[in-house]
């Protein structure tokens, strides 16, 4: 304790942007062509679910200790390369995070908020190249049932869910 409380004064928008950045760091390691990564896939999925669960709580109640602590722990694991073990990094999906870094440097945009825009754009652009991976992501992380008759419909619904999640936190994806 003590250190978590230091985050209580972080404004809601910055809290949301930080959570989106956690997800972006993990996305760039999760969306890979490497398939023998059972444990690291599970770690990534747990981080995503943690951010999805606790970010709205911290956003709406900045002094919620549990939410802040869970987000800090997710951030540590998501940024320390634990979820990059056994993966081809930088992965092709890392483009979203890398692209935002370049945009942010040129236009002084908020990094996490920019990652939301780039992430949604890259998902729409890349999902057809790896439908099984995106099916797994939206099933394991967002709870959507896999639809063998319409995998693209399931994935597009998942992308909309993720976009709606960002919007619920005041983060634009336009």
Render each residue's pLDDT in the chain as its tens digit; 174 residues. Answer: 578 988 999 999 999 999 999 999 899 888 887 777 889 999 999 999 999 999 999 999 999 999 999 999 999 999 888 888 877 665 555 667 777 777 777 887 888 889 899 899 989 998 999 999 999 999 999 999 999 999 999 999 999 999 999 999 999 998
Predicted confidence at residue 89, as pLDDT, reads: 61
d(CA 53, CA 73): 13
Q: Which residues contact 141 (CB under 8 A, 6 or more apart)?
A: 45, 48, 49, 52
Please give the pLDDT value at position 92: 54
pLDDT at 90: 55
Q: Residue 31's pLDDT is what? A: 87
pTM, rounded to two decimals: 0.92
């Amino acid at each position: 304790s003590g250190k978590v409380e230091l985050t209580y004064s972080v404004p809601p928008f910055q809290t949301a942007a930080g959570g989106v950045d956690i997800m972006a760091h993990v996305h760039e390691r999760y969306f890979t062509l490497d398939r023998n990564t059972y444990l690291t896939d599970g770690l990534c999925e747990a981080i995503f679910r943690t951010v999805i669960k606790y970010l709205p709580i911290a956003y709406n109640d900045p002094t919620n200790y549990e939410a802040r602590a869970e987000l800090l722990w997710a951030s540590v694991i998501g940024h320390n390369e634990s979820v990059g073990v056994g993966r081809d990094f930088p992965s092709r999906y890392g483009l979203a995070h890398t692209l935002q870094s370049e945009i942010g440097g040129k236009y002084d945009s908020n990094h996490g908020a920019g990652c939301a825009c780039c992430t949604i754009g890259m998902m729409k652009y890349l999902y057809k190249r790896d439908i099984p991976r995106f099916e797994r992501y939206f099933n394991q992380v967002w709870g959507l049932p896999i639809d063998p008759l319409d995998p693209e419909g399931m994935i597009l619904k998942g992308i909309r869910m993720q976009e709606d999640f960002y919007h619920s936190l005041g983060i634009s994806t336009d």
